[in-house]
Amino acid sequence: MTASTDTALVSYPLHGSCQCGNVHYQLLKAPVKVLACHCKECQKLSTSAFSITALVEDDAVVFQGELQEWQRLAENGNKNYAKFCPTCGNRIYHFNPDKPGLIKLKAASLDDTRVLQPDLHIWVREKQDWYQLPEGVEVCDGQPEL
């Protein structure tokens, strides 16, 4: 399954970076899926109503620059590890070492963000009351199996 983007409009690789420019990356092909997560942790991370994540195959991204790691356990026991720029603190991606093969790219850091059309809104039970979900989009009350 691929993200719901007209791939004719997007030319890969796409380039992205952290805010200070010390970390750069190239996304070599389309995301598997694009998620909008409404959980309280993602609201803290994004300082907004939700965070957008592109699920990508781990070999579909090439990173350059030093990354540091932060770890936490989710409520369900899943490991949520984050890679970020040590200079500006910008999150670049998340991953679960127990589920290799996919990473959760914080793709708002892409130069061309047209691929960021969410296929699925998750953790909608924690969404901000004022935010109206788009009609016809797939939703999940909590964390889906990905």
pLDDT (tens digit, 9 = 90+) per residue, 90-138?
Answer: 999 999 999 899 999 998 999 999 888 899 998 999 999 999 999 988 9
Q: Does 130 reside within a domain?
A: yes
Q: Does 83 reside within a domain?
A: yes
Q: What CATH number corresponds to the domain at position 65?
A: 3.90.1590.10
**Residue 51 structural domain:** 7-139
Q: Is the pTM of this model over 0.85?
A: no
Give the separation between CA 126 and CA 2, rounded to whole angstroms. Answer: 26
Question: Exposed, middle or buried: residue 108 (CB in 10 Å: 0-12, 13-18, 19+)?
Answer: middle
How many domains, in total, are found in the chain?
A: 1
